[in-house]
Amino acid sequence: MKIKFCGLNNLDSLRHACDLNADFVGFIFAEQSPRKVEPNFIAQLVDFNFCQTVPVSVFVNPSIQEVQQTIEILPNTILQFHGDESDDFCRQFHQPFWKSIPVKDKQSLLMIDNFPSAQAILLETFSEHLSGGTGKSFDWTLLENMDLSKKFILAGGINPHNIQSAISLNSWCIDINSGVESELAIKDNKLMAEIMTAFNHG
pLDDT in tens, 167-181: 999 999 999 999 999
> pLDDT value at position 132?
54
Counting residues of the chain whose pLDDT is more than 70, the rounded percentage is: 97
> pLDDT value at position 129?
66
Task: Give the chain's count of helices (H) and strands (E).
Answer: 6, 10
Number of domains in the chain: 1
In 10 A of CB 192, how many CB atoms? 22
> pLDDT value at position 131?
54
Q: Which domain holds residue 126?
A: 2-201
Mean pLDDT of the residues in the chain: 95
Phi, psi for residue 66 in degrees, rounded to 5: -60, -45
> pLDDT value at position 135?
73
Query: Length of the chain in residues, anyone?
Result: 202
Name the CA dihedral angle for 108, 110, 114, 117, rounded to a multiple of 10 degrees: 100
- Determine contact, residues 4/176, Cβ cutoff 8 Å: yes
CA–CA separation, 149 and 110 (whole Å): 18
105: CATH: 3.20.20.70
Phi, psi for residue 152 in degrees, rounded to 5: -110, 135
Residue 166: helix, strand or coil by DSSP?
Answer: helix
Residue type at 131?
A: S
